[in-house]
Amino acid sequence: MCSDGFSGQQRLPLVEEQLGKLMTDDPSVIGNCLAKFEDVVHLDQMSVFQRIEILNKCFSNETVEEIIDSLESETAKTADAWCISTLKRLTEVSPLSLKVSLRSIREGRNQTLDQCIIREYRMTLQAFFGHITRDYCEGVRARMLDKDHSPKWDPPSLEHVTNDMVDEYFSPLTAIEPDLELPIQQRKPFAIGKH
């Protein structure tokens, strides 16, 4: 509950109304308008935002291997619960998916929304088709079907993941399953203050 007696959900129409009255797309004016509706949030001690320095230090590394090494080093120094659980999770998941995910995040920083959607579509279909690896099916088997939580990843470790495998996830699809074509031409331009 907010200090004015309204929950965030209840204030959305008011926020929308105030934004609709603006006759500018100036980010500072929009930011000032939104600031009137903000609440002070007290972060939980386990929140990743309490560890932003560690997060930046570890995850700014170039490779998954370097990220894991950095997390291991941080865990050894601090015994931080978040570092321990994050490191544990990274060592449990598919090594190939870690490298594909890191590349996707890094590429996405410099792409438009349309490019990101097309990239994610390709990656998803590559995972479903299983031409590169059957890790998606193996993950479902281990977690949902057999519930043994012991997936047998292929490749089994980060050092066995090749650049060619990762590249394949980002390659254009085949004629059988063509790339996603977004209806870009049909979009109407966004106009502030018009509904």
Tell me whether residue 20 is in a domain: yes
Tell me whether residue 139 is in a domain: yes
Reported as a single tens digit per residue, the pLDDT across 113-122 is 889 999 999 9
Tell me whether residue 2 is in a domain: no
Domain that holds residue 75: 43-92
Both 80 and 101 in one domain: the answer is no
**What integer best gives the mean pLDDT of the chain?**
86
Q: Are 107 and 167 in contact (CB under 8 A)?
A: no
> Quick one: tokens of 167?
């590249």
Tell me whether residue 125 is in a domain: yes
Both 80 and 126 in one domain: the answer is no
Both 178 and 99 in one domain: the answer is yes
Q: Which helix (H) or strand (E) holds 54?
A: helix 52-59
| Count of the separate structural domains present in the chain | 3
Tell me whether residue 147 is in a domain: yes
Query: Other CB atoms closer than 10 Å to residue 109's CB: what's the count?
Result: 7
Tell me whether residue 119 is in a domain: yes
Both 98 and 178 in one domain: the answer is yes
Task: Determine which of 17-26, 149-158, 179-188 has the lowest per-residue pLDDT on average.
Answer: 179-188
pLDDT band, residue 47 (cuts 50/70/90):
confident
**Confidence (pLDDT) at 187:** 58
Both 49 and 131 in one domain: the answer is no
Reported as a single tens digit per residue, the pLDDT across 144-153 is 999 999 999 9
Both 61 and 80 in one domain: the answer is yes
Q: Is the pTM of this model over 0.75?
A: no
Report DSSP state, residue 41: -
Both 86 and 125 in one domain: the answer is no
Both 107 and 170 in one domain: the answer is yes
